[in-house]
Structure formats: C-alpha cells, structure tokens
Amino acid sequence: MERDISRITDTVQENSSFVSRIRQEMSQVVVGQENMVDKLLTALIADGHILLEGLPGLAKTLSISTLARIVNTGFKRLQFTPDLLPADLIGTMIYDQKNGEFVPKKGPLFSNFILADEVNRAPAKVQSALLEAMQERQVTIGDTTYALEQPFLVMATQNPVDQEGTYQLPEAQVDRFMLKVKITYPSRDEEMAILRTMSSPDRPQIEPVASVEDILAARSVIPKIYMDPRVEEYLIDLVMATRSPKEYGLADFSEYIEYGASPRGTLALAKCARVTAFLHGRGYVTPEDIKSVGFDVLNHRIATTYEADAENVVCEDIVRAVFDSIEVP
C-alpha cells in the first residue's frame, strides 16, 4: 500500500506543477485572500461550482476574472439584475426570415468560465435557469438539448441577503454549488499592500500560465488519491451528524437543524478533500484536508429552524460544533 501511495504522490506532483504558477500569477493582483484563491482552485480542479459571498469591494469579481485570464479558455461575465430573463442566459429560438424557420441563438452560458456577478440580484426564475447547466452540463433551447463545453465552471458572487435589492437563492440552486465561501475584510498589512499595488503606475499584467489540458489532466488524477477507510468513516460521521445530531452528542443543536447535508454534500466533501491533498502535492487524504474544506462544503447545505433564528444560531455554529464533537482518526 505504501508503494501505491508513493506512486500516486509522484503522479500528483507531476500533474500539479501548474498550481504554483497560478498562485504566483494571482498574487500579483489579488493581495491576501489566500483562502479564497485556494477555494477557487479547488472548485476548478474538482469540476464543481463555487459561490463567493461578501460585501462589495472585497475582490470577489477581480479574483474570478483574474483566474479566467490565467487559464487560457473561454470566459463570459454575466451581470445579474432584477430585469434579467432566462433567455438572456441560455439563449432562445429566433425566426430566420431567409429560411422561413426558427433557429437557436445560443446564450452566454455556452462558454467555459461563467462569472455570475451578484447572482442574488436576479429573481428566482432567472437563477433557476442555471440549474440544468450547473448539474447536467447541458442547456435546452426549444426541443433541442446542447452539451456545454468542458471545462464548464460557474463562479458566482453574491452580497449578503440583507443588502437592499437582493433575493434569497433557491435551495436547489444553492445545493448545486460545491463550495460557498464567505469573504471577510483583509488585515491591516494586506490593506496597505492593496493600496500600494493598486496605486502603482506599473500595474501587473496577467499572463495565461495554465491550459485546459492542465486542468483536465489534474481532474483525471483526483479519483486515484487514496482515502483511508478510517478517514472515510470520519467524513461520513461529519455528514451524518448534521442529520441526526442527537446520535452524535449534539442534542443541544437538534432543535436548530431543519435538515442536514445531502448525499451530494458527502460526495462534494470527499472530492474537495482529495483536491486539497492534490494542491499540497500528496497522494493521500488526511483529516486536516477534510477540515480545511468542511465549512465551505457543508455551511450552505444545512437548513436552520425558526428556533435557530430566534437564538441567533447560524450554520457556522452548527458546523463548528459538528467538527468539535466528532473524534478525529
């Protein structure tokens, strides 16, 4: 087994050399926010979508657009507004007078990287138009279904829902995001570095340093990364504790949880843990890999009750209690 893990580690290190190049290129523009950059890389390699939540001006859009330029592939930015229509995303059928028939006009979703900027400023019917594309990687226009290009990645940003002019995302769509990352303010030193970088007359120029082939090769390695059965048991216990808190010594939180993480959350947590091991150049998963992505994978998959709202208990409190209660192998 040790020999197999060593061979997998060699394969991981051979296929992960582009990661350091991306991080170095990103650091020229995005100061600090290492966690956000790592989670963007995780979503990209895991073939999952990511939702960044934070106040305006915290470099969410900048980070996503910069990553799209670093990876030499197609990119479309969609600014979500209250008057947006589903056809503005997926396309529609238009009448061709020359041929006397309706022909499809494909929308901007037919690209590789999609930046859904301020996704919660559009009503639910528009947000729901993303569901088929995000899950099945296809779009239906009229009677015809079209496969989307690979890689296909939706990177969305949203302001906190208590901001004016925002809508709550439907539960079905939120669950389609593999990761939901909350962005916070930078530190004082990082703020100073941002000021100096953005005030400099010589702004750094971003160059493509990774290709689609690099990403697809990395994705082919992820399933090979070893996860010990004890680590698998640890992962399952974490997810089950969000569904049946009393069975895991969390009786105090049972009245706060309406429902826990779905099997999709289990698969997402396992895949993100493997990608985290990949980003660290390892061919095996550790409990720390699961912990490092656990909050961002599970936070948005737990629904809280009215009692939780009354007691000011949020999902982060529940996930933190779950990780504290489950014994680490």
Q: How far apart are CA 304 and CA 311, in angstroms?
A: 11
Report the percentage of the chain scoring pLDDT > 70: 97
Q: How far apart are CA 190 and CA 194, in angstroms?
A: 6
Mean pLDDT for 154-162 is 77
User: What pLDDT score does 160 carry?
Assistant: 73
Q: How far apart are CA 4 and CA 9, in angstroms?
A: 9
User: What pLDDT score does 172 carry?
Assistant: 75
pLDDT in tens, 76-130: 888 888 888 888 888 888 877 888 788 888 888 888 888 888 888 887 778 777 8
Amino acid residing at 50 = I
- Residue whose C-alpha is closest to residue 51's, from 133, 134, 121, 155: 155
More confident residue, 274 or 4: 274
Q: Could you tell me the pLDDT band of residue 162, with boundaries at 50, 70 and 90?
A: low
Q: How far apart are CA 311 and CA 256, in angstroms?
A: 9
Q: Could you tell me the pLDDT band of residue 151, with boundaries at 50, 70 and 90?
A: confident
Q: Could you tell me the pLDDT band of residue 235, with boundaries at 50, 70 and 90?
A: very high
User: What pLDDT score does 2 carry?
Assistant: 61
What is the full DSSP assignment across 160-221? -TTSTT--PPPHHHHHHEEEEEE-----HHHHHHHHHHHH-SSPPPP---B-HHHHHHHHHH
- Residue whose C-alpha is closest to residue 74's, from 217, 212, 177: 212
| Cis peptide preceding 151, ω within 30 of 0 | yes
Alpha helices, DSSP H, located in 119-167: 124-128, 131-136
Cα dihedral sign for 264, 211, 11, 329?
Answer: negative
pLDDT in tens, 14-34: 888 888 898 888 888 887 778
If you search the block for the tokens 């999709």, which residue do you land on? 264
Q: Could you tell me the pLDDT band of residue 193, with boundaries at 50, 70 and 90?
A: confident
Residue 61 has pLDDT above 90, yes or no: no
Q: How far apart are CA 236 and CA 24, in angstroms?
A: 35
Q: Could you tell me the pLDDT band of residue 165, with boundaries at 50, 70 and 90?
A: low
More confident residue, 225 or 309: 225
User: What pLDDT score does 224 carry?
Assistant: 93
pLDDT in tens, 263-311: 999 999 999 999 999 999 999 999 999 999 999 999 888 888 888 888 8
Q: Could you tell me the pLDDT band of residue 164, with boundaries at 50, 70 and 90?
A: low
User: Whole-number mean pLDDT of the chain?
Assistant: 85
User: What pLDDT score does 134 carry?
Assistant: 84
Residue 209: other Cβ atoms inside 10 A: 18
pTM: 0.87
Q: What backbone torsions phi and psi does residue 72 show, to the nearest 5 degrees?
A: -75, 85
Q: How far apart are CA 72 and CA 52, in angstroms?
A: 22
User: What pLDDT score does 271 carry?
Assistant: 95
Q: How far apart are CA 46 and CA 64, in angstroms?
A: 16
Angle between helices 263-279 and 287-298 (to 10 degrees): 130
Give the DSSP letter of residue 149: P
- Residue whose C-alpha is closest to residue 222's, from 273, 275, 179: 275
Tokens coding 305: 């009750």
Domains of the chain, CATH where assigned: 18-217 (3.40.50.300), 225-325 (1.10.8.80)
User: What pLDDT score does 77 carry?
Assistant: 87
